[in-house]
Amino acid sequence: MAQPPPADLKRSLGLRHVFVLSTGGMISSGLFLLPGLAAAKAGPSAVLAYLIAGILAIPAMLSIAELSTAMPRAGGAYYFLARTLGPAGGTVTGMATWLSLVMKDALALVGMSAYLGIFLDIPAKPTAIALIAAFTLLNIVGSKSSASIQMLLVSFVLLAMAAFLIWGVSHVGSGAGSLDPFFADGSHGLIAAIGLVFVSYGGLTNVASVAEEIEDPSRNLPLGMMLSLAASTLIYTVGVLIVVATIPAEALHKDLAPIHTAAVATMPAFGAGLVVAAALAAFASAANAGILAAARYPMAMSRDGLMGPGFQTLSRFGTPARGVILTGVGMAVVVGLFGAGAIAKLASAFVLLTLGLVNMAVIVLRSAHIKSYAPGFRAPFFPYLQILGIAIAIYLIAKLGWLPILLVTACIAVALIWFNKVGRHDARQAVGAIHHVFERFGRSADRGIDREISAAMQSHGLRADDDYAGLIARAAVISVPAATDISEAAVRASQVLGIRMDLDPQQVSDRFLETGSLWIQPSETHPTATPVAFFDNNEDDHLVIAISESGIVIPSEWGGRDERVNALFFLAGTNAEAGRALRLAGELAAYLHSDDAAIVAEAAFEAEVKQALLPDLEIGQYLLLAETGLGGLIGRSIDELDLGDELHAEAVRREGKVIRATSDLVLQADDQFTIIGPEGKLPVGADLADLVIGS
């Protein structure tokens, strides 16, 4: 099973981008359009409905953060759910997620037409359909907001809303609206409003689709999403409080531009204009980004063999035109058939379905005990938090009324029929992590999903404390004879690893075969492969590189097809830090796809192999003999050595074992001391002693 090459997407998005993308996906229809419709159901307690909905979104937000840090790949919720539930579940979730985006985007353009109607005497539905056509055409020709433009738009919306909140809060209690009676329709109205406005938090899934481009996703994804949900909930709650307190109930319940009406009552004239501009910017940004994202779902499903191959075809503008057109047609049908309130209910229903499935995915993946599932962030209170999230989704969908329930049920039924008639024969993805759970009951698991999740970690990027350079410096390099297969290479590598980890070599070799995590980096000139295994008593990561001039055969029991590779990289990680080993393996794979891999395959000496894997760095290895100039280092701890800012002590090889060079490690006679530094900066021989002890 060949490992695909690393994606070309660069990690250029930081914490602020995560915050902006997530917040931009939420601050739209929920704020500028829905407050009046929510107040019609719950009265003034619509304020509480937004607050409770934000709190109820926390389980799904934490689950999305976990999945995104475990599989930081472009594709978002569909990618997670298809790899968890298999192709049948992938068909259901792909269709449901696509429909949730279609509904949300349709609602955004209904809202945009309402705000345009403030200045222009135009019919609402035809205007919304015309806007759908315009944004569809825009996406066909390839115009999309960059992260920088999106940041500017969302920043403008947030600044405008901050001004509205500051001015508006002072009018609470003195406006024409009333907070009494707060629960106009009791708990029934409040619960109905919570379900209605839940679509406001559907943007939580947006950021998952760009997880592959986020720097340090283990930190920035969960933190950015938490800040975004907190900020959005605050803006919604205070904003709706101002609306309810300043607009009379009979007018508010029919108002599709309530924020503008409240701004006219509480702000100077320019402030009301600022709010309208912010609303139009929010609607345009949400709709354009939503169409862009929704169009990729048919394309992703087509790549998995769950839809016709035509959806993979790109237009001459380089866009998935068929997916864009399908999305635009779907939005137009929704706007033509339903009013704003019904669209909001349907959008919330499909958002709830998607978020419920996301919570289920975390339960399945953790229960499957897949070694390669090693998220950088783990949602707390497992599995109770996820069970709560699923229960919330089911309960709120049930409270939305018969139409959302009917359409959600129809979506699931149509998706399963489609899969059985079309997708079952063409599906190219693994059967899903859920089969690992079934394995406990006598059903077989699919090891392909293990390798696929493992491969997804290649997109994760290193954390600050992941010592890739040290891993390479501590690595052992062995040569294997001609006509060798991976089993023989594993035996030889396991002998080295067994000594380093104080384990029986046969146990080490068996563990590599059992784990089944093998990444093959194909190449016409220098193919390589990286077997990864995890051990309970191993406190560090160890690497053994096996090279062969004639190639090493990988048979089917190891996950290959009898292809030959020039080098094998046996990476032994620890179960306690499985994610770290997978990130290191991903970084290694990135180098093995470069031209430096040719040097690895052709290298005759250990130093050449290591040098090829450490661009712009050099490795120095110094044998500490008492009778040489380096004898002055014997008896000194690493902490006593003055290596400066550019040189780093990485390892000591002592009596066949490689020891990490910690600050309290004392050097002994006959140690081989390894130092890493920039090219041309390493001292030669005895000069090292002069440099580090000042003699």
Helix (H, G, I), strand (E, B) or coil at 36: helix
DSSP 569: E
Least-confidence region, from 187-191, 297-301, 345-349, 567-571 = 297-301
Listed ranges 47-61, 284-298, 675-689; the one with the highest mean pLDDT: 47-61
Q: How remote is the C-alpha of 574 from its chain's centroid? A: 23
Q: Is pLDDT larger for residue 453 or for residue 617? A: 617
Residue 147 has pLDDT above 50, yes or no: yes
Listed ranges 18-22, 558-562, 665-669; the one with the highest mean pLDDT: 665-669
Helices (H) and strands (E) in the chain, counts: 27, 10
Q: Could you check whether the bond before residue 123 is cis, i.e. omega within 30 degrees of 0?
A: no
CATH label of the domain that carries residue 490: 3.40.930.10
Query: What's the rounded mean pLDDT across residues 202-206?
Result: 78
Q: Does residue 308 form part of some domain?
A: yes
Q: Which residues contact 686 (CB under 8 A, 6 or more apart)?
A: 628, 629, 630
Q: Are residues 371 and 509 in the same domain?
A: no
- Return the H-helix or E-strand segment holding 649: strand 648-654
Give residue 138's pLDDT: 83
Q: Are residues 359 and 508 in the same domain?
A: no
Q: Does residue 10 form part of some domain?
A: no
Cα–Cα–Cα angle for 272, 46, 29, rounded to 5 degrees:
50
Give residue 4's pLDDT: 38
Point out the domain boundary residue: 612, 643, 670: 612
Q: Is pLDDT larger for residue 506 or for residue 483? A: 506
Tens of pLDDT, residue by residue over 564-623, are 888 899 999 888 887 788 778 878 877 776 655 555 555 556 777 787 788 778 888 888
Q: Does residue 139 form part of some domain?
A: yes
Q: What is the mean pLDDT of the chain?
A: 83
Q: Does residue 684 form part of some domain?
A: yes
Point out the domain boundary residue: 576, 597, 612: 612
Query: What's the rounded mean pLDDT across residues 97-115?
Result: 91
CA atoms within 13 A on the CB side of 443: 11
Number of domains in the chain: 3
Q: Are residues 292 and 236 in the same domain?
A: yes
Question: Which single residue is written with the structure tokens 């780093």?
Answer: 648
Q: Are residues 531 and 664 in the same domain?
A: no
Q: Are residues 335 and 392 in the same domain?
A: yes
Residue 132 has pLDDT above 70, yes or no: yes
Q: Does residue 11 form part of some domain?
A: no
Give residue 1's pLDDT: 36
Give residue 166's pLDDT: 93
Q: Is pLDDT larger for residue 109 or for residue 141? A: 109
Confidence of residue 154 (pLDDT cuts 50, 70, 90): confident
Q: Are residues 652 and 550 in the same domain?
A: no
Query: What's the rounded mean pLDDT across residues 673-681?
Result: 85
Q: Does residue 658 form part of some domain?
A: yes
Query: What CA–CA distances, in Å, run from 50 to 110, 276, 282, 287?
Result: 20, 22, 19, 22
Q: Which residues contact 399 (CB under 8 A, 6 or more apart)?
A: 191, 192, 194, 195
Query: What's the rounded mean pLDDT across residues 235-256?
Result: 94
Q: Does residue 431 form part of some domain?
A: no
Give residue 13's pLDDT: 72
Residue 671 has pLDDT above 70, yes or no: yes
CATH label of the domain that carries residue 681: 3.30.70.1450
CB 260 within 8 A of CB 276: yes
Domain span including residue 668? 617-693
Q: Angle formed by the axes of helices 402-418 and 384-399, to 10°? A: 120
Point out the domain boundary residue: 405, 426, 447: 426
Q: Does residue 440 form part of some domain?
A: no
Q: Are residues 587 and 628 in the same domain?
A: no
Residue 651 has pLDDT above 90, yes or no: no
Q: Which residues contact 46 (CB under 8 A, 6 or more apart)?
A: 35, 38, 39, 193, 197, 240, 244
Tens of pLDDT, residue by residue over 397-425, are 999 999 999 999 999 999 889 888 876 66
Cα separation, 583 vs 291, in Å, equals 33
Q: Is pLDDT larger for residue 11 or for residue 480? A: 480
Query: What's the rounded mean pLDDT across residues 217-243?
Result: 92
Q: Are residues 85 and 115 in the same domain?
A: yes
Q: Are residues 626 and 493 in the same domain?
A: no
Residue 3 has pLDDT above 50, yes or no: no
Q: Are residues 298 and 417 in the same domain?
A: yes
Least-confidence region, from 28-37, 69-78, 103-112, 507-516 = 69-78
Closest among 161, 183, 186, 188 to 243, alpha carbons compared: 161
Query: What CA–CA distances, in Å, run from 250 to 174, 188, 254, 258, 539?
Result: 18, 20, 7, 12, 67
Confidence of residue 150 (pLDDT cuts 50, 70, 90): low
Q: Are residues 606 and 535 in the same domain?
A: yes
Query: What's the rounded mean pLDDT across residues 262-267?
Result: 92
Give residue 327's pLDDT: 92
CATH label of the domain that carries residue 344: 1.20.1740.10
Q: Are residues 582 and 640 in the same domain?
A: no
Give residue 238's pLDDT: 96
